[in-house]
Amino acid sequence: MLEHVRIVLINTSHSGNIGSAARAMKTMGLSDLVLVDPVDFDPQAPSDVSVAMASGAQDVLQGARVVATFEEAIEDVAVVMGASARSRHLPWPLMHPRKATAKALEVLPSGQKVALVFGRERTGLTNDELAMCQIHIHIPTNEDYASLNVASAVQVLAYEMRMGILAHQGELDANYEGNWGVSWDNELANQGEINGFMDHLEQTLVDIEFLDPTNPKQLMPRLRRLFQRAMPDKVEINILRGILKMIGRSQHK
Amino acid sequence: MLEHVRIVLINTSHSGNIGSAARAMKTMGLSDLVLVDPVDFDPQAPSDVSVAMASGAQDVLQGARVVATFEEAIEDVAVVMGASARSRHLPWPLMHPRKATAKALEVLPSGQKVALVFGRERTGLTNDELAMCQIHIHIPTNEDYASLNVASAVQVLAYEMRMGILAHQGELDANYEGNWGVSWDNELANQGEINGFMDHLEQTLVDIEFLDPTNPKQLMPRLRRLFQRAMPDKVEINILRGILKMIGRSQHK
């Protein structure tokens, strides 16, 4: 679905920002970039600064389509989402990026396109351009300092879109698998092994006179909670028991 | 809670990146920046490029604390989260940013500090540094192109943290209020007004012979669904009825 998310940059002044936006897109797996009337950009011969800022995302940069009007940029798009500052003369339904992503996921699965539209560096989108967007996205920035660079705004919305799509496809949490996923190197200890270790630990603490069996307080419950929470693997339990064994030997010398 | 989220940058080479990171932080309301042994940065006299990249976030830049070791940077921190690439020699529980934010929200409300730690531009955090982090955060980048600039990574994680905190404080959705929040300029039309308009519309469509009452098909249900979905306000309904009235007059000329 990432291939159906288009980034549209309108009237960008600095080609370096176009390069940075291309890089931000590619890190999140997006590739469809359309530039509406850029002030200083030629995809056939991108400027040095745009290539430098793209830093390995030149394919996105060189694949960019340059068009004269916003209408051309969104002709084949089902849902147009414009990045907007908070207050406008005529109020318009504003969504935060997560909600807008959920909205995009209502159409992306059917193969329809969604466009994320970003305006000029200083002035953003005009009211006429915003009127052509079905959804206005507002990134909930610091009210005292909303100075988000255009490439940073692309980065945030592309990230949010990627997170939403991965989650939708069941690939987000699956790739992390809780804490001990497929990439964990050892099998987790089972509860028998943990209990064996806890008994060994308790006996050792008695032996070294750290734990008074007649007045145990909350020591063992606290230690158990600590080790349960850590969910040790089998190798770690073996290491811990090895340590206890050595403590025991040093006691009986 | 935003004031308890610290950004730690280790061994950053380019002071421009420190400036960009400061800007990214401030857009999301963060201000606590600690620099561990930066290659080329003096908070008393920040370089021109760092100030230029900070672009109005000089207060964050000048408030940055420079320390010699990672240990000093996190001494007073409860939970240390390191930004990590995917594969490491010794596997470690990896969380995506949203999950890590949920984890941070388990401690932030009590006033404890959370640190987000970012490594060198090219090589990231060392294994020794990652071993000092309780949580490793991985931003789920494009597997073929994970080249996220350090300031972009700060931007993404700071954004995620801000979203989580706003949601936790009940300020995220509240500030957007669905589609027609407190900032909407007119009261929504009530169902009586909508029904009055729909009747007027239906009569008009019959008058202009667009709707055949003996074979109405799904026309009116479709039009009703469209207007229900749009949830027009009172002014919009008045405009629509004004249009219908004018169509009626032009019919009877």
> Within 13 A of B144's CA, how many CA atoms are on the CB side?
8
Which class is domain A191-251? mainly alpha
Is pLDDT at A149 greater than 80 in this prediction?
A: yes
DSSP letters spanning A100-149: HHHHHTTTGGGT--EEEEE-BTTTBS-HHHHHT-SEEE-----TT-----
Average pLDDT over residues A6-16: 95
Please report, as a single letter, which amino acid is at residue B103. K
DSSP letters spanning B76-96: T-SEEEEE--S--SS---EE-
| pLDDT score at B94 | 81
| pLDDT score at A89 | 55
Q: Which residues contact A194 (CB under 8 A, 6 or more apart)?
A: A227, A228, A232, A237
What are the distances in angstroms from CA B44 to CA A170, B41, B113?
48, 9, 25
Instruction: Spell out where B124-187 has E strands.
Output: 135-137
CATH 3.30.70.3270 fits B2-176, yes or no: no
- Minimal CA–CA distance to B26: which of B59, B50, B73, B66? B59
Residue A115 contacts B where some CB pair is shorter than 8 Å: no
Average pLDDT over residues A61-65: 94
Residues 70-99 of A with CB under 8 A from B: 87, 90-91, 93-99
Measure CB to CB from residue A147 to each of B23, B152, B173 and give the nearest one: B23
By three-state DSSP, how is residue A236 classified? helix
Q: Confidence band (pLDDT; 50, 70, 90) for A251?
A: confident
Q: What does the CA dihedral A108, A109, A110, A114 come to, rounded to 10 degrees? A: 0
Residues 169-188 of A with CB under 8 A from B: 172-173, 175-176, 178-181, 183-185
Q: Confidence band (pLDDT; 50, 70, 90) for A26?
A: very high
Is pLDDT at A178 greater than 70 in this prediction?
A: no
* Domain assignments of chain B as residue spans, ordered by start: 2-176, 191-251
Residue A218 contacts B where some CB pair is shorter than 8 Å: no
Closest Cα in chain B, distance from residue A209 (Å): 31
Q: Which positions of chain B have pLDDT values less than 50?
A: 179-182
The two tokens of residue B85 are: 């690439």
In whole angstroms, give the CA distance from residue B65 to residue B44. Answer: 10
**Selected residue with higher pLDDT from B179 and A207:** A207
| Range of weakest confidence among A49-53, A68-72, A87-91, A191-195 | A87-91
The share of chain A scoring above pLDDT 90, in percent, equals 54
| Range of weakest confidence among A87-96, A183-192, B180-189, B208-217 | B180-189
Is pLDDT at A88 greater than 80 in this prediction?
A: no
Q: Which residues contact B6 (CB under 8 A, 6 or more apart)?
A: B32, B33, B34, B73, B77, B113, B114, B115, B116
Average pLDDT over residues A190-201: 90
In whole angstroms, give the CA distance from residue A95 to residue A106. Answer: 15
Closest Cα in chain A, distance from residue B109 (Å): 19
| pLDDT score at B177 | 52
| pLDDT score at A184 | 60
Is pLDDT at A177 greater than 60 in this prediction?
A: no
Length of chain B: 253
In whole angstroms, give the CA distance from residue A242 to residue A197. Answer: 10
Write the DSSP symbol of residue B204. Answer: H
In whole angstroms, give the CA distance from residue A139 to residue A4. Answer: 22
- Residue with token string 């290491």: A239
Residue of chain A whose Cα is closest to the Cα of B134: A230
pLDDT tens for A111-129 read 899 999 999 998 999 988 9
Please tell me which of A70-74, A144-148, A216-220, A232-236 the model is most confident about, judged by mean pLDDT.
A70-74
Give per-residue burial for A30-62: e unless 16+ CB within 10 Å, then b: bbbbbbbebeebebeebbebbbebbeebbebbe
Cβ separation of B147 and A172 shorter than 8 Å?
no
Cβ separation of B166 and A28 shorter than 8 Å?
no
| pLDDT score at B170 | 86
Please report, as a single letter, which amino acid is at residue A189. A
Contacts of A152 in chain B (CB under 8 A): 23-24, 27, 152, 155
Measure CB to CB from residue B145 to each of A27, A172, A173 and give the nearest one: A27
- Establish, for the pair of chains A and B, how many residue pairs have beta carbons separated by less than 8 Å: 116
| pLDDT score at B186 | 74
Please report, as a single letter, which amino acid is at residue B116. L
